[in-house]
């Protein structure tokens, strides 16, 4: 097979092997389609796989270079006075037929083909060339004795002579799966194989085409196939490589990287692989990213390692290079995958959990090996020509000259629908003539047009039905996009008989994974399929899109310069426009069209060329900042999504600078965005927690919905940059600058952040009262528990550590620093806040008070309410800005009093507690306290005085979105008191 | 080969170089320089001439300034026609830049609509889009849109944001493939030579027999005078966006690709210049 481009290999859940060319658009069924496979591992010249019989096979591409091997043996003769040179040798001599050294007896007929995959090119013949020169008669070379220097000339003292016989054998099983037959003693043979990975071709050039073939057997042992190279594509034998544990899966990179996973969930890394020792020397264990979820799968390239843990999360190993094959740490990536595979140039593919589609990692470059996003490969499967005859041409015709063909196919469907007497058939969607709305419809139409079988009819109606379901949930725009989506034709040889009774299952199954182009969803029911689905009877019969089980990109060279056609659903505008043009495509080359193009370019030339120096009437706005953030998706299932974010600023005709924040996200492969006019934003708040540097953005509408836009940045610095910029832009569009005015309304959030709002004259002026949810709040640095102000601009506050503070008139501070801050009057502020947790015990007759409660009791370590479990260990500072001041200690200063050990007693939880034990008391608790200060790097325009405080905020306030209403109610109080 | 989407871009980014001169009779404190500007063909005069207004107001006394209006060779220019249409209709085949005279006095009440704010333009623009969709989809598409989508169409036009506009507008350009086109084509035919403002009739993109109607079919039906008999010398130009599409061009394709942002095909019929 000629290789015009390189191939991506994949196995679907039925074990069928497909390839997708980098220049192609369709998955092609592997030429030798008889076998079903569970794993494949490909490189450029071949692919190794484990078939469902647990045997290893290799698929070697044909090429112009034949795979041939020269067998040779020597015929040796000695001169004797009677018969001259003859085959009678002296007893001390070598055999009459031997190898070149004479040490091995090699008769012509002792040579056999190593496997059925070889054939002899010809019979044995004498090699008459020695050292490139033809010898005299018969190819004999002469010497005084064995072993000695042979010459081609017979001399007076030539007592022995020999000649070389050669015979070529040729590897014939190319472009087909060749079973690897082991010649070893069967008792030594590995148990059935479970995983295979090939690579290592970069380790050494010698011999040509050398490959490292690693396999894992069902018992968890690792095997290395010896001597795999160009002229020995099958290798010679399996040798066992000892491992520290039972191995599940293995991955071999093009160079010296080799990782494997253990049953226990760790990964092991082979060290010491080099040209002299392709087996490597030792294993090093690498722990999984989290203790609860072990590593299930690894994939390695030249300098990268990717892993999938048992919870299907995808991880990228940081710091992997040839000096440090183990890398340094794990980074969690977006997406949930069944498996991932690394190919040439460290490009990455994965099979997603929820839709079983193959995703290609986009943006993987030498400088950014972890890439940017997963993009679904939506290429359809080219129909199996031998089975469906002309369906391929129909398919392509349907794609590009759709109308008539579709109509035709459609009419067939309807008639078939009648025959099938399926109760669903009247529900054929009214608009199904434009069936391209889903791949399912195309494929089934086409299938039907071909098959004319009643079985096919069932199938068609059925998948149409599910297509309709899909259509209902898809926006009308994507119906059009579907036009250009070449989809798989249905392989009719798969389970046609089952369809009649799996109809309902089919529909159920389709609901979820029907969208081939879907972006990630949370783990769905599909993931229950488990890792090794091959061979399991799946209800997915003839599906709309292939469900994949395995992918291998080891032979797939993605050229970054020539775009792939695998993602045929275009995104955004271009798709719609292309689909528009597709709607009348037969006229692509019509004269009228050419004329329009030509005239338009002439017009542009005429009207613009000499006038480019003229000012544009409409000022183009400026992109102030773009970047990548994560966005808390506003529909279910809620989750963080990678988004592109851009702040666009423009100057309106009235001179006011306004900004729009765009958030671009992918939804079902379609690029979409939401946008916020910053002059509508009412407040920006940091939402700090352990895992994300996030902030929330409210508008009046979003306050009503209680659903702010939540964005998260990779680093705290990045988040602060965005917050500062957005906050500045908000102020700018509201023409607010400098310090808060004397009339400003001050507030603190439940977290202690300080916000001010500039009252507009209408604030309290009837009839245009501004509802409080429309007031704009900007943050002033600092951290306080209480704040009070008057109309002279005097502002005082109390910190959580009872310190009183006075406002100095500075502004900015905190993350605003450097952008729009006042030059002076900004000082360091620190605050200390106490966290209380309770230790609860119940009395029992045997041990007295113990930490063993009743099943109905509260947690033995809890908050004051008892509802929340709060242990010393799991209670953490609310944000990275906080750190513990001291360790936990018992608090004796509790209302109601305590005993000497700090205990308070009560009849039951929850009740009133007292500081001494009575007969009626069955439970007791004591309070532990640990203060933590706000990190001192927060600058705030406050100065300090002294005071006291009482009770604390509940710790639970901290996790999620800050409670704006708390702020607003609090604010109302202040407003009354300030009395402008 | 060029893509149809390039047509959308070319249409969107069409610019007419324009020279604005203050009307000679306007009272100024000092002489006003002409003001040169590239006007977007698809936009509206009063939407893109804030700078022009500011420029001339600088040399005028406040009390002499009332509502701005524009005139070309004696004809007041209707701001509620797209700029490209005004140019094609009145100034095709003339030397560039397009010389427009700026007036601040004597507003021609009988010729022009008042335009006191951008809201008026927005209202007019949205009204056109709604009318067009009523013709194309019985208003189904525009009614299904949210307010913010409407706003986005307008903001796209106002800020000259092609992507922003088309992200929404593409929905207005969709149709059920089995229909082969819209219900009716929203079009208006303007003739430079008549007093009648424009011709607008119901016209389907597809003949009952299924073949696509062309621009020629449209003209034959609604404006037969625009069709020159085969043998005669052509005395008339049919212009859209400054070009003359062939009469064989399917009207549906034109509607999808060469409509103005208001979703109408504005077709100008003008006398062919005799050299």
Mean pLDDT confidence for A50-65: 86
Out of B43, B96, B167, whose CB is closest to A607?
Answer: B96
Question: Which of A816, A843, A875 is at the close of a domain?
Answer: A816
B85/chain A closest Cα distance in angstroms? 14
Q: How confident is the model at residue B14 (pLDDT cuts 50, 70, 90)?
A: very high
pLDDT of residue A389 exceeding 60:
no
Task: Report chain A residues whose CB lies below 8 A from the CB of B3.
Answer: 577-578, 581
Look at phi and psi of residue A159 and say left if phi exceeds 0, alpha if psi is from -120 to 50, else beta: alpha
Task: Report chain B residues whose CB lies below 8 A from the CB of A477.
Answer: 170-171, 174
More confident residue, B76 or A805: B76
Q: How many CA atoms lie within 13 A of A293 on its CB side?
A: 14
A745 occurs within a structural domain = yes
CATH of residue A671 = 2.30.29.30
Alpha-carbon distance A342 to A364, whole Å?
Answer: 11
Task: Report chain B residues whose CB lies below 8 A from the CB of A583.
Answer: 175, 177, 180
Task: Report chain A residues whose CB lies below 8 A from the CB of B166.
Answer: 573, 576-577
Range of the domain at A123: 68-171
Residue A282 forms contact with B (CB below 8 Å): no
The answer to whether the Cβ–Cβ distance between B11 and A600 falls below 8 Å is: yes
Same domain membership, residue A879 and residue A803? no
Out of A597, A653, A673, whose CB is closest to B2?
Answer: A597
Q: Supply the pLDDT for residue A444.
A: 38
Residue A611 forms contact with B (CB below 8 Å): yes
In terms of C-beta density within 10 A (0-12 exposed, 13-18 middle, 19 or more buried), how is residue A760 classed? middle
Residue A478 forms contact with B (CB below 8 Å): no
* ipTM of model over 0.90: yes
In terms of C-beta density within 10 A (0-12 exposed, 13-18 middle, 19 or more buried), how is residue A222 classed? buried
Residue A591 forms contact with B (CB below 8 Å): yes
pLDDT-above-70 percentage for chain A: 67
pLDDT of residue A409 exceeding 70:
no
Same domain membership, residue A838 and residue A799? no
Q: How confident is the model at residue B260 (pLDDT cuts 50, 70, 90)?
A: very high
Question: Which of A348, A381, A414 is at the close of a domain?
Answer: A381
101-130 in chain B: CB under 8 A from chain A: 118
Q: How confident is the model at residue A925 (pLDDT cuts 50, 70, 90)?
A: confident
CATH of residue A284 = 2.130.10.30
- Sequence-distant (6+) residues with CB within 8 A of A77 are A85, A86, A87, A89, A96, A140, A160, A161, A162
Q: Supply the pLDDT for residue A43.
A: 92
Alpha-carbon distance A40 to A709, whole Å?
Answer: 44
Encoded tokens for B159: 């800020």
A415 occurs within a structural domain = no
The answer to whether the Cβ–Cβ distance between B1 and A588 falls below 8 Å is: yes
Same domain membership, residue A912 and residue A769? no
Q: How confident is the model at residue A828 (pLDDT cuts 50, 70, 90)?
A: low
| Cα four-point dihedral sign A888, A892, A896, A900 | positive
Task: Report chain A residues whose CB lies below 8 A from the CB of B242.
Answer: 603, 607
Same domain membership, residue A271 and residue A377? yes
Same domain membership, residue A108 and residue A86? yes
A291 occurs within a structural domain = yes
Mean pLDDT confidence for A635-663: 78
The answer to whether the Cβ–Cβ distance between A592 and B248 falls below 8 Å is: yes
Going by C-alpha positions, the residue among A137, A118, A213, A519 that lies closest to residue A352 is A519
pLDDT of residue A686 exceeding 80:
yes
Going by C-alpha positions, the residue among B135, B131, B113 that lies closest to residue B197 is B113
pLDDT of residue A205 exceeding 80:
no
Residue A622 forms contact with B (CB below 8 Å): no
More confident residue, A155 or A512: A155
Q: Supply the pLDDT for residue A186.
A: 60
Out of B8, B244, B257, whose CB is closest to A599?
Answer: B244
Residue B49 forms contact with A (CB below 8 Å): yes
Same domain membership, residue A153 and residue A200? no
CA nearest A476 in B: which residue?
B171
The answer to whether the Cβ–Cβ distance between A577 and B166 falls below 8 Å is: yes
Same domain membership, residue A779 and residue A696? yes
Going by C-alpha positions, the residue among A295, A296, A300 that lies closest to residue A348 is A300
Mean pLDDT confidence for A39-62: 89
The answer to whether the Cβ–Cβ distance between A617 and B243 falls below 8 Å is: no
CATH for B179-270, options being 1.20.1260.10, 3.40.47.10, 3.40.50.1000, 3.10.20.90:
3.10.20.90
Average pLDDT, chain A: 71
Q: Supply the pLDDT for residue B84.
A: 95
Alpha-carbon distance A894 to A35, whole Å?
Answer: 76
Q: Supply the pLDDT for residue B69.
A: 94
Domain count, chain A: 4
Task: Report chain B residues whose CB lies below 8 A from the CB of A677.
Answer: none
- Sequence-distant (6+) residues with CB within 8 A of A311 are A293, A336
Q: Supply the pLDDT for residue B175.
A: 87
Q: Supply the pLDDT for residue A894.
A: 76
- What's the whole-model pTM score? 0.41
Class of domain B15-103: alpha beta
The answer to whether the Cβ–Cβ distance between B160 and A620 falls below 8 Å is: yes
A434/chain B closest Cα distance in angstroms? 6
Out of A477, A591, A603, whose CB is closest to B174?
Answer: A477
The answer to whether the Cβ–Cβ distance between B38 and A595 falls below 8 Å is: no
Question: Which of A770, A791, A816 is at the close of a domain?
Answer: A816
Out of B1, B7, B159, whose CB is closest to A600?
Answer: B7
Query: CATH topology of B15-103 equal to that of B179-270?
Result: yes
Q: Which pLDDT tens digit goes with each residue over A243-254?
A: 999 999 999 999
A855 occurs within a structural domain = yes
The answer to whether the Cβ–Cβ distance between B249 and A406 falls below 8 Å is: no
CA nearest B9 in A: which residue?
A600
A403/chain B closest Cα distance in angstroms? 8
Q: Which pLDDT tens digit goes with each residue over A132-187?
A: 677 667 788 888 887 777 777 777 777 888 888 888 899 988 888 888 887 665 66
Q: Which pLDDT tens digit goes with each residue over B82-105?
A: 999 999 999 988 888 999 999 998
The DSSP bridge partners found for residue A662 are A646, A675
Same domain membership, residue A103 and residue A42? no
A884 occurs within a structural domain = yes
Same domain membership, residue A627 and residue A755? yes
Residue A573 forms contact with B (CB below 8 Å): yes
B182/chain A closest Cα distance in angstroms? 12
Same domain membership, residue A237 and residue A346? yes
* Site of tokens 């060029």: B2
Alpha-carbon distance A887 to A876, whole Å?
Answer: 12
Task: Report chain A residues whose CB lies below 8 A from the CB of B167.
Answer: 572-573, 673
Out of B48, B175, B256, whose CB is closest to A618?
Answer: B48
60-79 in chain B: CB under 8 A from chain A: none
Task: Report chain B residues whose CB lies below 8 A from the CB of A480.
Answer: 174
The answer to whether the Cβ–Cβ distance between A406 and B256 falls below 8 Å is: no
Q: Which pLDDT tens digit goes with each residue over A99-108?
A: 888 888 888 8
Q: Supply the pLDDT for residue A270.
A: 93
Q: Which pLDDT tens digit goes with each residue over A584-633?
A: 344 445 788 888 988 998 998 888 888 878 888 877 666 667 888 999 88
Task: Report chain A residues whose CB lies below 8 A from the CB of B4.
Answer: 577-578, 580-581
DSSP state of B138: T
CA nearest B170 in A: which residue?
A576
Same domain membership, residue A223 and residue A297? yes
Q: How confident is the model at residue B218 (pLDDT cuts 50, 70, 90)?
A: very high
What is the CATH architecture assignment of B117-174?
Orthogonal Bundle (1.10)
Mean pLDDT confidence for A388-402: 30
Residue A408 forms contact with B (CB below 8 Å): no
- Sequence-distant (6+) residues with CB within 8 A of B46 are B68, B79, B115, B118, B121
Task: Report chain A residues whose CB lies below 8 A from the CB of B6.
Answer: 597
Q: Where are the domains of chain B?
A: 15-103, 117-174, 179-270
Residue B54 forms contact with A (CB below 8 Å): no
DSSP state of A610: G
CA nearest B180 in A: which residue?
A583
Q: Supply the pLDDT for residue A965.
A: 26
Same domain membership, residue A684 and residue A637? yes
Q: Supply the pLDDT for residue B132.
A: 95
A863 occurs within a structural domain = yes
Q: Which pLDDT tens digit goes with each residue over B39-77?
A: 999 999 999 988 899 889 888 888 878 889 999 998 999
Task: Report chain A residues whose CB lies below 8 A from the CB of B160.
Answer: 618, 620
């Amino acid at each position: 097979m000629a290789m015009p481009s390189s191939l991506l290999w994949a196995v679907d859940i039925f074990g069928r092997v497909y390839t997708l060319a980098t220049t192609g658009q369709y998955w092609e069924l592997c030429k030798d389609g008889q076998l079903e496979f569970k794993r494949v591992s490909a490189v450029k010249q071949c692919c190794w796989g484990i078939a469902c019989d647990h045997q290893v096979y290799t698929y070697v591409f044909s090429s112009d270079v034949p795979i041939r091997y020269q067998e040779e043996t020597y015929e040796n003769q000695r001169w004797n006075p009677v018969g001259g040179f003859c085959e009678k040798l002296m007893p001390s001599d070598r055999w009459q037929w031997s190898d070149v050294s004479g040490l091995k007896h090699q008769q012509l007929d002792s040579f056999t083909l190593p496997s059925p995959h070889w054939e002899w090119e010809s019979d044995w013949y004498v090699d008459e060339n020695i050292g490139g020169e033809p010898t005299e008669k018969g190819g004999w070379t002469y010497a005084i004795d064995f072993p000695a220097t042979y010459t081609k000339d017979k001399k007076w003292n030539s007592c022995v002579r020999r000649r070389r016989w050669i015979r070529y054998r040729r590897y014939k099983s190319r472009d087909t799966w060749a079973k690897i037959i082991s010649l070893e003693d069967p008792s030594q043979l590995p148990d059935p194989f479970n995983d295979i990975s090939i690579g290592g071709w970069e380790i050494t050039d010698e011999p040509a085409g050398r490959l490292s073939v690693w396999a894992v057997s069902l018992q968890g042992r690792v095997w290395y196939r010896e001597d795999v190279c160009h002229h020995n594509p099958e290798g010679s034998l399996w040798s066992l490589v000892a491992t520290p544990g039972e191995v599940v899966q293995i991955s071999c990179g093009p160079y010296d990287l080799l990782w494997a996973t253990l049953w226990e969930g760790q990964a092991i890394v082979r060290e010491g692989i080099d040209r002299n020792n392709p087996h490597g020397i030792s294993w090093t264990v690498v722990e999984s990213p989290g203790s609860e979820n072990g590593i299930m799968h690894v994939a390695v390239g030249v300098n990268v390692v990717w892993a999938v843990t048992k919870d299907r999360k995808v991880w990228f190993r940081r710091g992997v290079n040839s000096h440090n094959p183990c890398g340094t740490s794990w980074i969690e990536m977006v997406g949930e995958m069944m498996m991932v595979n690394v190919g040439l140039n460290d490009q990455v593919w994965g099979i997603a959990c929820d839709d079983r589609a193959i995703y290609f990692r986009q943006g993987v470059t030498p400088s950014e090996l972890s890439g940017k996003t997963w993009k679904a490969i939506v290429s359809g499967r080219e129909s199996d020509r031998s089975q469906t005859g002309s369906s391929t041409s129909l398919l392509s015709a349907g794609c590009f000259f759709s109308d008539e063909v579709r109509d035709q196919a459609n009419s067939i469907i309807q008639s078939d629908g009648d025959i099938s007497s399926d109760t669903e058939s009247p529900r054929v969607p009214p608009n199904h003539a434009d069936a391209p709305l889903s791949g399912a419809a195309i494929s089934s139409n086409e299938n039907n047009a071909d098959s004319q079988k009643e079985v096919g009819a069932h199938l068609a109606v059925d998948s149409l039905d599910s297509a309709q379901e899909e259509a209902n949930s898809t926006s009308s725009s994507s119906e059009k996009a579907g036009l250009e989506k070449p989809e798989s034709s249905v392989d009719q040889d798969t389970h046609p008989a089952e369809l009649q009774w799996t109809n309902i299952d089919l529909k159920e199954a389709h609901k979820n994974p029907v969208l081939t182009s879907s972006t990630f969803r949370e783990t769905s029911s599909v993931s229950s399929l488990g890792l090794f689905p091959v061979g399991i009877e799946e209800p997915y019969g003839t599906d709309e899109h292939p469900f994949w089980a395995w992918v291998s990109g080891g032979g797939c060279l993605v050229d970054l310069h020539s775009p792939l056609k695998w993602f045929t659903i275009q995104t955004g505008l271009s798709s719609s426009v292309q689909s528009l043009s597709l709607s009348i495509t037969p006229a692509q080359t019509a004269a009228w069209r050419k004329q329009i193009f030509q005239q338009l370019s002439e017009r542009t030339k005429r009207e613009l060329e000499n006038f480019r120096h003229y000012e544009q009437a409409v000022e183009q706005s400026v992109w102030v900042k773009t970047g990548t953030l994560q966005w808390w998706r506003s529909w279910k299932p809620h989750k963080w999504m990678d988004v592109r974010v851009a702040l666009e600023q423009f100057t309106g005709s009235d001179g006011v600078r306004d900004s729009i924040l765009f958030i671009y996200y992918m939804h079902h492969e379609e690029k979409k965005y939401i946008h916020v006019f910053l002059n509508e934003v009412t407040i920006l708040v940091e939402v700090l927690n352990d895992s994300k540097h996030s902030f929330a953005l409210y508008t009046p509408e979003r306050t009503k919905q209680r659903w702010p836009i939540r964005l998260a940045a990779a680093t705290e610095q990045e988040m602060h940059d965005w917050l500062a910029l957005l906050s500045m832009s908000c102020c700018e569009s509201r023409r607010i600058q400098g310090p808060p005015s004397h009339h400003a309304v001050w507030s603190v959030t439940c977290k202690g952040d300080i916000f001010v709002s500039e009252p507009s004259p209408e604030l309290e002026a009837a009839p245009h009262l501004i509802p409080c949810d429309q007031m704009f709040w900007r943050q002033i640095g600092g951290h306080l528990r209480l704040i009070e102000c008057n109309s002279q601009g005097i502002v005082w506050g109390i910190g959580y550590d009872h310190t009183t503070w006075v406002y100095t008139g500075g502004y900015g501070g905190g993350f605003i620093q450097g952008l729009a801050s006042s030059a002076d009057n900004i000082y360091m502020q620190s605050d200390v806040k106490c966290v209380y947790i309770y230790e609860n015990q119940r009395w029992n007759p045997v041990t007295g008070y113990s930490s063993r409660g009743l099943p109905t009791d509260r947690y033995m370590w809890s908050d004051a309410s008892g509802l929340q479990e709060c242990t010393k260990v799991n209670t953490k500072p609310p944000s990275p800005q906080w750190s513990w001041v001291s360790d936990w200690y018992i608090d004796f200063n509790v209302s109601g009093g305590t005993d000497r050990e700090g205990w308070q007693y009560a009849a039951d939880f929850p009740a009133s507690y007292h500081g001494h034990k009575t007969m009626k008391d069955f439970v007791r608790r004591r309070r532990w306290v640990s203060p933590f200060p706000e990190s001192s790097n927060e600058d705030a325009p406050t100065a300090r005085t002294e005071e006291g405080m009482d009770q604390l905020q509940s710790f639970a306030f901290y996790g999620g979105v800050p409670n704006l209403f708390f702020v607003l109610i609090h604010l109302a109080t202040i407003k009354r008191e300030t009395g402008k | 080969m060029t893509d149809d989407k390039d047509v959308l871009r070319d249409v969107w980014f069409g610019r007419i170089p324009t020279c604005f001169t203050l009307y000679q009779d306007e009272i100024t404190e000092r002489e006003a320089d002409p003001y040169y500007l590239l006007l977007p063909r698809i936009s509206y005069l009063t939407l893109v001439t804030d700078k022009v207004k500011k420029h001339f107001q600088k040399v005028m006394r406040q009390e002499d300034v009332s509502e701005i209006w524009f005139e070309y060779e004696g004809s007041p220019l209707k701001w509620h026609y797209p700029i490209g249409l005004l140019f094609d209709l009145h100034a095709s085949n003339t030397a560039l830049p397009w010389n427009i005279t700026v007036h601040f006095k004597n507003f021609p009440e009988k010729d022009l609509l008042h335009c006191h704010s951008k809201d008026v333009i927005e209202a007019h623009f949205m009204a056109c889009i709604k009318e067009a969709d009523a013709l194309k989809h019985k208003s189904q598409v525009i009614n299904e849109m949210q307010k913010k989508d409407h706003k986005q169409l307008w903001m796209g036009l106002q800020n000259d944001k092609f992507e922003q506009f088309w992200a929404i507008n593409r929905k207005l350009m969709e149709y059920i493939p089995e229909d082969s086109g819209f219900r009716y084509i929203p079009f208006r035919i303007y003739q430079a030579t008549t007093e009648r403002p424009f011709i607008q009739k119901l016209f389907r993109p597809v003949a009952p027999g299924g073949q696509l109607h062309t621009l020629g079919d449209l003209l034959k039906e609604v404006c037969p005078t625009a069709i020159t008999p085969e043998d005669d010398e052509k005395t008339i130009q049919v212009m859209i966006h400054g070009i003359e599409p062939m009469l064989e061009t399917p009207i549906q394709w034109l509607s999808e690709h060469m409509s103005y942002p208001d979703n109408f095909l504005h077709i100008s019929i003008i006398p062919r210049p005799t050299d």
